[in-house]
Structure 1
Amino acid sequence: MAAATIDVRRVDYGEPGDAQALVQLLDGYARDAAGGGQPLAAQVLQGLPAALQQRSQAFSVIAWAQQEGGAVPVGLVNCFEGFSTFACLPLVNVHDVVVAPGWRGQRIAQRMLALVETIARERGACKLTLEVLSGNTSAMALYLREGFAPYALDPAMGQAQFLQKKLLP
């Protein structure tokens, strides 16, 4: 992809262009092997921006490439505020990191994560957290380069493992 000016900004879930870009990018990620290889359900595509807007702990950032025909969404990060009981402070979980296939390798995720960190600091967060699939080596390299590290309290107890228990089909 040709060099373009990239603008990274916070998503306004109530703005139709932002809402459309959010679901477009997230659906592209869901269809990718790293996102599970399945498109998002119609009700998710229709309801996600409004559902996120209702959650004060949610925020997202989008990277827009400025091109001749206008701005094109090329990256997305969705985040949720949680709470660290050990620090008695908020934390921010980086839940989805998406860069459109034709735009990868241009440090767009790095720029989005920088804005996420700024927003997290404004919220008084003590740390950023995220999970990554072990086979996603390019994402892991990005996260390590950006200062993320495997989570352990005591090395003798090992590293934390991310587990899930599905409650809905």
Structure 2
Amino acid sequence: MIVEKIEWSGQVLEADLENSEHQEIVLNMVRAFARDSMGNGQDLSQESREMLIDGLRRHPAVSVFIAFNEKKPLGFATCFLGFSTFTARPLLNIHDFYVGDEYRGRGVGRHILHAIENKARALGCCKLTLEVQENNQTALSLYHRFGFEEAQYDAGAGAVLFRQKKL
């Protein structure tokens, strides 16, 4: 299904995780992102490579978007549907967001974000959320231009912080 047609003769598709071509593209894109300095800085483990697509396919609330120019994948985003208890509505979290080095600054990321926002609006989501490294000025600039703000519940309490505990 074409989610959005874009002027650079490309398109943003929502991946069909049952389609073997899309599976291969998603795996390769996640691996490229993992190797990037703004990702993990190293390739996925063999175990992660073997489990990724099946894990995504089994997840009940995943959407993966792929930007193409002709048949060449340029970037992708992995999103997970969540729920806001404060608004009693769904939200869409952008978990992974990556555009290949050679395609950055050409509008690819912006078009992926538009496709994600269109999906979120169609699902009745109250907001989009994401995590970004503090030193990723390129992504922070893109997100700011697209309307993302520092998350806050109470303006006087400061920013909402994201934490993790590895298991």
The match for 2:47 is 43
The 8 Å contact of residues 60 and 77 in structure 1, kept in 2 or not, is answered as: yes
| CA distance, structure 2, for counterparts of residue 21 and residue 60 of structure 1 | 11
One-letter amino acid matched to 1:81: L
**In the alignment, is residue 7 of structure 1 matched against residue 11 of structure 2?**
yes
1:17 to 3, 17, 21: 21
**1:116-155 alignment, distance < 5 Å:** 116-155=116-155
Quote the offset at 1:50 in angstroms: 2.1
What is the TM-score with the length of structure 1 in the denominator? 0.91
The 8 Å contact of residues 8 and 64 in structure 1, kept in 2 or not, is answered as: yes
Structure 2: where are the runs of 5+ without partners? 1-6
Percent identity of paired positions between Structure 1 and Structure 2: 35
The match for 1:165 is 165
SS in 1 for 2:76: strand
Cα displacement string for residues 63-103 of structure 1 (whole angstroms, at most 9, x for unaligned residues) = 0111xxxx111110000011100000110000011101111
Runs of 4+ in structure 1 displaced over 3 angstroms?
none
**CA distance change for structure 1 residues 4 and 89 in 2, over 3 Å: closer, same or farther?**
closer
1:54 to 55, 58, 63: 58
Query: How many equivalent residue pairs?
Result: 161
What is the TM-score with the length of structure 2 in the denominator? 0.92
| CA distance, structure 2, for counterparts of residue 57 and residue 126 of structure 1 | 16
Quote the offset at 1:46 in angstroms: 2.5
SS in 2 for 1:34: coil
Tell me the C-alpha RMSD between the 2 structures: 1.3
Cα displacement string for residues 119-169 of structure 1 (whole angstroms, at most 9, x for unaligned residues) = 1111111100001101000100000000100011212111111111101xx
| CA distance, structure 2, for counterparts of residue 124 and residue 56 of structure 1 | 17
| CA distance, structure 1, for counterparts of residue 122 and residue 158 of structure 2 | 32
The match for 1:105 is 105
